[in-house]
Amino acid sequence: MQKRKLGNSGLEVSALGLGCMGMSFGFGPAADKAEMIQLMHKAVEQGVTFFDTAEVYGPFVNEELVGEALAPFKGKVTIATKFGFELDPNGGPKFIGLNSRPEHIKKVAEASLKRLRVDVIDLFYQHRVDPSVPIEDVAGAVKDLIQEGKVKYFGLSEAGAVTIRKAHAVQPVSALQSEYSLWTRKPELAIIPTLEELGIGFVPFSPLGKGFLTGAINNQSEFAANDIRSGLPRFTKEAIDANQVLVDLLTRVGNQKNASTAQVALAWLLAQKPWIVPIPGTTKTHRLTENIGSANIVLTDSELKEIQEAASKIQIQGDRYTEAMEKMTGL
């Protein structure tokens, strides 16, 4: 697989990464551990060098899974993880709130190093902006960790342009992770221009719209109670029906390219900027191979124009998050 550089920081990874959250958290029951380890091994075999996790996924179990799976490839892959939540001190699944106090960041780093079985965290994101802690203090804490050799690169997730600039002035930000796809295009307004100006890479999560842009979801789809989609406005039956027109567009282009609907969605993202690295997640080997195949699909200028013109006429129905979840973003 081709490699891409995330901005000007020197961080080079595979053009597509693998989001690991859904293997153990967020999309229904956790998948079989042995199967997920095998899946990650297959990803490495097919050229994937960039893996995404976080302490909050589980919590903790996803980092442990990724650490165990990728231990044989130490030094050959890049693992990104995140800090920024206050978790239940009794080990329960509750999120008590945000916490990006410097002392907490350093405590999380030590724990993540152990769970990931590594000597240094490749990319350490602030998971959500904490309004109670100046972003300069957050960047300073990660700068300390970098100087101590415990972290290589600093990242932000779902941060706004002003926050990105303030953090970058203290410790260069290597990558921003935020949701971006053909049905979530808000980053195009201020975020992408800011990243381009500052030389920061962009890592879109949910690049397939939490599965919707694969074409596998319709108004008959049912979601488990512990599947985050069960409570999202964009996954009501009415919104799914209304937004099907976007899937139809991707399918039509895919038929012209002998590519799947998902592959066109990912190829479109890859075509936006050379420093964009999507991290689609999956628990299925055939979907992994399908997603990786998108890196070899080149959309022509006329095809990109066709998608742009058609997509611009589509009004996406339903908010991507609940109001409470949206308040936790800095966008």
- Report if residue 8 sits inside a domain: yes
Q: What is the pLDDT of residue 88?
A: 80
Q: Which residue has the tokens 């075999």?
A: 45
CA nearest neighbour of 13 among 151, 123, 119, 142:
123
Q: Please tell me the predicted confidence (pLDDT) of residue 245.
A: 97
* 87-103 average pLDDT score: 83
Q: Are 176 and 202 in contact (CB under 8 A)?
A: yes
What pLDDT does residue 325 have?
A: 85
Q: How confident is the model at residue 95 (pLDDT cuts 50, 70, 90)?
A: confident
Q: How many helices (H) and strands (E) does the chain have?
A: 11, 11
Q: What is the pLDDT of residue 329?
A: 79
**Does the structure show a pLDDT above 70 at 41?**
yes
Q: CATH code at 309?
A: 3.20.20.100
The span from the CA of 105 to the CA of 274, in Å, is: 31
Q: Is 153 a catalytic residue?
A: no
From the candidates 57, 125, 153, 180, give the one annotated as an active-site residue. 57
Q: Cα–chain-centroid distance for residue 125? A: 11
Q: How confident is the model at residue 324 (pLDDT cuts 50, 70, 90)?
A: confident
Q: Which two tokens stand for residue 238?
A: 């009415």
Structure tokens at 3: 């490699």
Q: How far apart are CA 153 and CA 243, in angstroms?
A: 37
Give the tens place of pLDDT for each residue, 201-228.
999 999 999 999 999 999 999 999 999 9
Average pLDDT estimate for 168-177: 98
In this structure, is residue 107 part of a structural domain? yes
Distance CA 8, CA 10 (A): 6
86, 132 in Cβ contact below 8 A? no
Q: Give the number of other CB atoms < 10 A from CB of residue 71.
A: 12
Is there a contact between 31 and 23 (Cβ–Cβ < 8 Å)?
Answer: yes
Question: Rounded to whole angstroms, how far apart are CA atoms 45 and 194?
Answer: 35
Decide if 50 contacts 18 (C-beta within 8 A).
Answer: yes
The answer to whether residue 93 sits within a structural domain is: yes
Do residues 73 and 44 lie in contact, with contact meaning Cβ atoms separated by under 8 Å?
A: yes
pLDDT of 92 reads 65
Of the candidates 162, 95, 104, 155, the one whose C-alpha atom is nearest the C-alpha of residue 127 is 155
Q: Residue 20: which domain range?
A: 3-326
**Of 98, 201, 87, 85, which is closest to residue 154 (Cα–Cα)?**
201
Give yes or no for a contact between 226 and 236, defined as CB atoms under 8 angstroms apart.
Answer: no
Residues 127 and 87 sit within 8 Å (Cβ to Cβ)? no
Q: Which has the closest alpha carbon to 43: 296, 291, 297, 294?
A: 291
Tell whether 319 is covered by a domain.
Answer: yes
- pLDDT tens, residue by residue, 30-39: 999 999 999 9
pLDDT > 70 fraction of the chain, expressed in percent and rounded:
98
CA distance 54 to 77: 16
| Cα separation of the two ends of the chain | 32
Residue 331 lies in a domain: no
Q: How many structural domains are present in the chain?
A: 1
CB 6 within 8 A of CB 174: yes
Residue 61 — very low, low, confident or very high, per pLDDT cuts 50/70/90?
very high
pLDDT tens profile 5-22: 999 999 999 999 999 999
pLDDT tens profile 268-309 = 999 999 999 999 999 999 999 999 999 999 999 999 999 999
Q: Using the 8-state DSSP alphabet, how is residue 182 labeled?
A: T
In this prediction, residue 89 carries a pLDDT of 72
Q: Does 331 score more than 70 pLDDT?
A: no
Residues 6+ apart with CB under 8 A from 178: 157, 158, 159, 187, 191, 202, 204, 205, 331
Q: Is residue 173 part of a domain?
A: yes
d(CA 235, CA 241) in angstroms, rounded, equals: 9
